[in-house]
Amino acid sequence: MGLARKDLLRMQELTADEIRLILDTAESMKQVAGRDIKKVPALRGKTLINLFYEASTRTRTSFEIAGKWLSADVINVSTSSSSVSKGESLKDTGLTLQAMHPDIVVLRHPASGAAEFLAKQLAASVINAGDGAHEHPSQALLDLFTIREKKGRLEGLKAAIVGDIAHSRVARSSIHGMRKVGMEVRVAGPRTMLPCFIDRLGVEVFTDLERAIADVDIIMMLRLQLERQQAGLFPSVREYSRLFGLTLPRLKGAKSDVLIMHPGPLNRGVEIAPEVADGPYSLILNQVENGVAVRMALLYLLAGGGQAA
Amino acid sequence: MRILIAGGRVIDPASGVDEVFDLLIEDGRIVRIGKDVRGAEPPEASKGKRSKAAKNAESAINVDRVMDAAGLVVCPGLIDMHVHLRQPGREDKETIATGTLAAARGGFTAVCCMPNTDPVNDTRSVTEFILDTAKREGAVHVYPVGAISKGLRGEELAEIGELFESGCVAVSDDGRPVMNAELMRRAMEYAGMFDLPVISHCEDLHLSGKGVAHEGIVSTELGLCGIPSTSEAAMVARDILLAELTDARLHIAHVSAAESVRLIREAKARGVRVSCEASPHHFALTEEAVRGFDTNAKMNPPLRSESDRQAILAGLRDGTIDVIATDHAPHTAQEKEQEFDVAPFGVIGSETALALTLTTLVASGTLSLNQAIAKLTSEPARILKLPKGRIAEGADADLTIFDPDREWTVDTSGFASKSRNTPFHGWRLKGGTVATIVAGKVVWEA
């Protein structure tokens, strides 16, 4: 059984059943990662193009490894984001790629909606690997997978997402994903980084970190984009860190078994203290590890692999 | 050339006429308005008990053409006080020829073109080029709007006196705001010497930032940078205060936010000389149209929330909003077929404005047909002091004939405009232009 859709663009459009199917499939994919020979023939003869308009280490590598372990032919195309406004249009790039008949295109792009735009141009499946501040569904799925792996369940758990919610595609995808599987979601950050009407997505809103994390099961810290300081969204890294950085003393007020997540890359000492990032409840490296399995599941389900891996 | 428009429902908001009349047009003017005009002259021809048809057949008046307007509305030619004709400079998007033909197709007999061309209309030579080209190639009357500041840079005043002398009917830096309040104050004082209205594109660029859509639930969900309503309203408030200070005539372009409507309503009650316009897309659509990242729903000011739309409707109803104007802003397909962040702001509107007005405002009871027509004819004529927008013997024969009941589906492939960037493609609308008459000449006919 595959996903009954051509593309994966948004968590907002997935059903709870689809999310469960992806997570369950990822579990069997994870077994491949534990094997001596990490290769199954599921996507042999299929072509995967990683089209990245933004710098990315973990997401691009993760999709690349996922494709290779499934025996797909993987091509990486990196374009600097400056070519968004000059040079070849995304439409022409899409038409050019289409002429080479890829089966899956993974797109990372700085403009919200870019994946949806490309998906309309291509017969191939498009996976949104992050579009502007809109969505980053594979990240949200690997986070759900990691939480389920640790807690054994998702429903009824409570999570706090902390940081620049306004500009975060991870936050949006996580909010939709977590809500769909029955989790409670809080968001917390400076008032300047909380987008209007965010509560209408079914989340509780906090500007006090300690209150936000008091009784949650998961704390998801977001990366602070340092250039937001020039935009006037926070006064200084020092003050941001003082008010919204996750430190050991702050964690004392949280549940004793709280799990800490971060989509990376980390600003150590800014939004997360090193001893928290490297501490016993940190799932940060589990997230990276599980990223490969979840992306294998996505590729497999979208490329319509005939037999199970 | 003599044309008889027979048996139409003549609606002239300026004089309050709403009655079935014949109109006789000759040499570019309306020469007679009345019942049975053709049969009535010479007077003896109306005697006896002959049928109307027979009377017409034997009529002593020779006309070159009889246009049967039974069941149709005949009103003053519509005036669109806010269009972008793109010539000179961006003839790939629109030209004076195609833009005015699109206007004629939409029932407009006059348009005011904004100065953000390349070069900018900030000097006599550009104004004269526009007027000359319009005379040669234009389907309808063209009234240029000159720039407030040189190059629309917001630094120094343009030569507003010369722009006025060469034919500009207002000044505006439309497309961008005059961010410097001191310069805007001086522009109002200076334009006041010529009694020229200052048309303000109200937007605080700092508040708009990198915004591409209304700051609301949709921008939050889609992860698009928002343009808050306050970006517009703060400048509306500033310009109202400056108009009070200078006693200038201020016209606020394309009002989109509830806060702006409230500020203008309050200012009018205080006696400030302020008027404003709303565009069909702002009373027919909301931010919801942006979902799916449809770049044909990207314009500035952006489509706002349903409560803003309701405020626009209320403002139209109570007269706070004087005018309906399109902000017709053509862009090429390749410019719009881009990421939402990158695509240019703007939609075309000339060929859908009348039908959207009739469908969205009149059919719903928000405005009477008379009120709606006033906002498209006599009101813009009053604000710009144009000798247009009325039906009277001796007046210019600029007339629009439309069928208020004709239903049609918007299909951009038939548009006269060079561009296709409208969010209304495929919409079912009620009310269609039948004929557009400019200076006694039929310039467009269904």
Find the mean pLDDT for residues A130-159: 98
Residue B312: how many CB atoms within 10 A of its CB?
24
- Beta bridge partners, B25, equal B3, B30
pLDDT value at residue A83: 53
Residue A30 CA to chain centroid, in angstroms? Answer: 18
The β-bridge relationship of strands B428-438 and B399-409 is antiparallel
Contacts of B338 in chain A (CB under 8 A): 89-91, 117
Neighbours of B155 (CB within 10 A): 11
Closest CA of chain B from A113, distance in Å: 6
Would you call B322 a catalytic residue per the annotation? no
DSSP assignment letter at A152 = S
Whole-angstrom Cα distance, residue B103 to residue B172?
21
The CA-based dihedral angle spanning residues B129, B133, B135, B141, taken in that order and rounded to the nearest 10 degrees: -90
> Taking a C-beta distance cutoff of 8 angstroms, is the pair B76, B85 a contact?
no
Q: To the nearest whole angstrom, how far is the Cα of A231 from the nearest Cα of chain B?
A: 9
Residue A135: its chain B contacts at CB < 8 A?
Answer: 223
The greatest distance separating any two alpha carbons of chain B, rounded to the nearest whole angstrom, comes to 76
Using the Cβ of B339 and the Cβ atoms of chain A, whether some distance falls under 8 Å is answered with yes
**Annotation marks residue A58 as catalytic:** yes
Give the phi and the psi of residue B186 in degrees, each rounded to 5. -65, -35
The pLDDT assigned to B415 comes to 98
Q: Is A132 in contact with B292 (Cβ distance < 8 A)?
A: no
Query: How far off is chain B from A198, nearest CA to CA, in Å?
Result: 7
pLDDT score at B54? 44
pLDDT at A230: 85
B293: nearest CB among A113, A197, A201: A113
Q: Percent of chain A beyond pLDDT 70?
A: 96
Residues of A with CB under 8 A from a CB of B: 12, 84-85, 89-91, 109-114, 116-117, 131-135, 167, 169, 172, 195-198, 200-201, 231
The answer to whether B221 contacts chain A (CB < 8 Å) is yes
Give contacts of A196 with chain B, Cβ < 8 Å: 215-217, 219-220, 226
Measured between beta carbons, the chain A residues lying within 8 angstroms of B215 are: 196
Which residues is B431 bridged to in the sheet?
A: none
Query: Is there a contact between B222 and A113 if contact means CB atoms under 8 Å apart?
Result: yes
Q: What are the CA-CA distances from residue B46 to residues B62, B132, B425 (Å)?
A: 15, 46, 49
Q: Is B339 in contact with A117 (Cβ distance < 8 A)?
A: yes
Q: Identify whether the C-beta of residue B201 lies closer than 8 Å to the C-beta of residue B232.
A: no
Rounded to a whole number of angstroms, the distance from the CA of B410 to the nearest CA of chain A is 23
Picking from A117, A136, A169 by the largest number of B CB atoms within 10 A of its own CB, the best residue to mutate is A117
| Secondary structure (3-state) at B6 | strand
From the list B222, B292, B338, which residue is nearest A89 (CB)? B338
Test B222 with A111 for CB contact under 8 angstroms. no
CA distance A216 to chain B (A): 24
User: A117: helix, coil or strand?
Assistant: helix
B408 interfacial to chain A (CB closer than 8 Å): no
pLDDT at site A228? 86
- Residue B46 pLDDT: 43
The question of whether A136 is a catalytic residue gets the answer yes
Give tens-digit pLDDT for A208-251.
999 999 999 999 999 999 888 888 899 999 999 999 999 999 99
- The pLDDT tens digits of the residues spanning A2-47 come to 788 999 999 999 999 999 999 999 999 999 988 999 999 999 999 9
In sequence order, what are the beta bridge partners of B274? B250
Kindly state whether B338 is in contact with chain A, defined as any CB-CB distance less than 8 angstroms. yes
Residues, chain A: 309
Q: Cβ of B226 and A134 within 8 Å? A: no
| Confidence class for position A279, pLDDT limits 50, 70, 90 | very high
Q: Is the ipTM of this complex over 0.90?
A: yes
B210, with CB counted inside 10 A (0-12, 13-18, 19+), is exposed
Contact present, B229 and B215 (Cβ < 8 Å): yes
Which residue ranges of chain B lie beneath pLDDT 50?
42-48, 50-51, 53-54, 57-58
Q: What number of other Cβ atoms are within 10 A of residue A239's Cβ?
A: 13
CB contacts of A134 in chain B (<8 Å) are 222-224
Tell me how far apart the alpha carbons of residues A48 and A105 are, in angstroms, rounded to a whole number. Answer: 6
> Which residues in chain A have their CB less than 8 angstroms from residue B341's CB?
110-113, 132
Q: Report pTM.
A: 0.93
Residue A305 has pLDDT above 80, yes or no: no
For all residues of chain B together, what is the average pLDDT?
95
**Where would I find the H helices in B209-366?**
217-222, 229-246, 258-270, 280-284, 306-318, 333-336, 353-356
Convert the pLDDT of each residue in B94-116 to its tens digit.
999 999 999 999 999 999 999 99
Q: How far is CA A43 from CA A81, A143, A297, A306, in A?
A: 30, 24, 11, 9
Residues of A in contact with B337 (CB under 8 A): 89, 91
Residue A306 DSSP code: S
Task: Judge: B223–A135 Cβ closer than 8 Å, yes or no.
Answer: yes
- CA B354, B358, B360, B363: dihedral to nearest 10 degrees? 180
Query: Best of A81, A91, A112, A222 to disrupt the B interface by mutation (most B CBs within 10 Å)?
Result: A112
Q: Which among B22, B204, B239, B327 is annotated as catalytic? A: B327
Tell me whether strands B250-252 and B323-324 are parallel, antiparallel or unpaired.
unpaired
- What gap in Å lies between CA B176 and CA B277, rounded to an integer? 17
